[in-house]
Chains A and B, each alone.
Chain A
Amino acid sequence: MTVQEVSEMRRVPIRNDGERLQPRLPLEELNADGGLLPFVYPNGVPGYMTTTAEDFRNILGDPRFHAKRFLGEPQPGPVSVEVPDMPGFIPSMNGPEHLAVRRLAAGDFSVKAVQKLEPVIDEVVTKYLDQTQAHGSPVDLFESYNLPIPSEVIAKILGVPTTHTPEFQLAARLTIGGLPDEIEDPMAPAKAVARLHELIGEIIQLKRANPEDDLITRLTQATNPVVSDQEIWGLCTNLLLAGHETTSTSGAFAIAILLERPEAREYFLSHLDRTPEMVEELIRYVFMVTDSGGGIPRLATEDVEYGGMTIHKGEWVMPCVGTANADPTVCPHGATQLDLAREDILGHHLTFGFGPHTCLGQHLARAELKVIIPKVFERFPNVQLLTPVNELPWLDKGFGYRMAELPVSF
């Protein structure tokens, strides 16, 4: 693309009227037009965005496109950030090297490994329900319930000793950004990542001295390939970050939807035997609404002929979950609406991505959300929002957004 061509490109039309529970992109229009939508990111980097499920799968499944993050080169995004290279951080690895490192952790996130974790998830959720109850009403449910649960579950999978868990969770909490702590210290998220590095380093040494039945121990003992401490750190940081913000914020968002829409709440609570399907629909809907092209961008490593055009080497394509999840081929009826009665959605939406980087923690995320969402209504039958969803504070990240608090009474 030339500068002239880029300057003529239309920008992705993101609605910004403060309506939080409706899609921000004109999804049906984008789906119908199809093709890769050329546009310029707010940081000036040109790129394309996928607008259909087919394009989403094709780009993410094509090995000529590399996932790139944390490489310090100008990337498409709301802002340009310099982030250090991190060995073992699988979202920016590609090809056989990526699969080799990913498989080191994959056994701990398989369908059956997650099934074995269900009692652990129940225990952690109950702990934070108890704490929320002890705090009393009113409470910020995001802070007291949704935010701490995923990091505690991941800490247990990694094998973080209980002595280290509170500090591990505190660091995890700060990495997501947008919390009140940053008003006092804008560097809080960066410092938290550095502290995580130190903590995981300490834990690696503890596990080398006293091996246990956990993921960090297994990584220290891996022989094919042997994993360096740096790679263990990158991989563990990745596992934490990938499963922490996503699960905590999407769970809070799903609860907010049910609180805001009495008919959806009533349907959900009277069909708990369909919890897996209803949670799947909430996962589809939440990411359709909140994502407007904010995923990990793909870089063309060579010229690629695609859909009658050439994507040149060095150009970026952003896989858009929002348009993919609204695609009639994924969701044939009323895709832009939430429909908890929807059948056959399990595993057919694209929230968890596609291709070699497909979300490793998707079975864990489902298992957690299947407990997190219904349990809050079971424990607190009178739970109500204190502030309408559209008036809540949100962290807006340009191509995606998430809630920052969820004040409720119960």
Chain B
Amino acid sequence: MLVDYSKCTAAGQCLLAAPNVFDQSAENGTIVLLDEAPPESEYPRVLDAVNRCPASVISLANESGTTLR
């Protein structure tokens, strides 16, 4: 999972979608990655977070680094 902090607009959608994986900084509301390699059971929620993020901050890559979405 790749996170581009520079684009984060602090909308909190990732936390709403997958609260076990993402949080928001108390200081500026931006994305905090709680679990860099979440278990498979979290995948649907992580995918929802990817889709809901209004600033396209989160992207998914496979082990060789190829971006999936």
B24 touches A353 (CB 8 A): no
Known: A111-B16, A347-B16, A347-B17. A106 touches B30 (CB 8 A): yes
Min Cβ gap B41→A in Å is 19
Q: Which of A104, A110, A363 has the most CB of B within 10 A?
A: A110
In the bound complex, residues from chain B placing their C-beta under 8 Å from that of A112 are 15, 23-24, 26
> Which residue on chain B has the smallest CB distance to residue A355?
B54
Scan A87-116; emit 1 where CB is below 8 A from any B CB, else 0: 000000000100100111011011111000
The verdict on A356 contacting chain B, using a C-beta distance below 8 Å, is yes
In the bound complex, residues from chain A placing their C-beta under 8 Å from that of B54 are 57, 60-61, 353-356, 358
Choose one: B26, B52, B55, B56; the contact of A110 (CB below 8 Å): B26
A103 touches B11 (CB 8 A): no
Q: For residues 15 through 69 of chain B, which have their beta carbon under 8 Å from a beta carbon of chain A?
A: 15-17, 23-30, 52, 54-56
CA–CA, A109 to B25, complex, Å? 11
CA–CA, A61 to B54, complex, Å? 7
A103 touches B10 (CB 8 A): yes
Min Cβ gap A238→B in Å is 15
Report whether over half of chain B's contact residues are helix, strand or loop; otherwise say mixed: loop
In the bound complex, residues from chain B placing their C-beta under 8 Å from that of A113 are 26, 29
The verdict on A325 contacting chain B, using a C-beta distance below 8 Å, is no
* Total contacting residues, chain B, CB less than 8 A: 23
A356 touches B9 (CB 8 A): yes
* Total contacting residues, chain A, CB less than 8 A: 29
In the bound complex, residues from chain B placing their C-beta under 8 Å from that of A102 are 9-10
B9 touches A110 (CB 8 A): no
The verdict on A362 contacting chain B, using a C-beta distance below 8 Å, is yes
In the bound complex, residues from chain A placing their C-beta under 8 Å from that of B13 are 347, 358
The verdict on A348 contacting chain B, using a C-beta distance below 8 Å, is yes
Min Cβ gap A184→B in Å is 41
CA–CA, A352 to B30, complex, Å? 17
Known: A354-B54, A355-B54. A111 touches B15 (CB 8 A): yes
CA–CA, A60 to B9, complex, Å? 13
In the bound complex, residues from chain A placing their C-beta under 8 Å from that of B23 are 112
Binding site for B on A (CB under 8 A): 57, 60-61, 96, 99, 102-104, 106-107, 109-113, 346-348, 352-360, 362-363
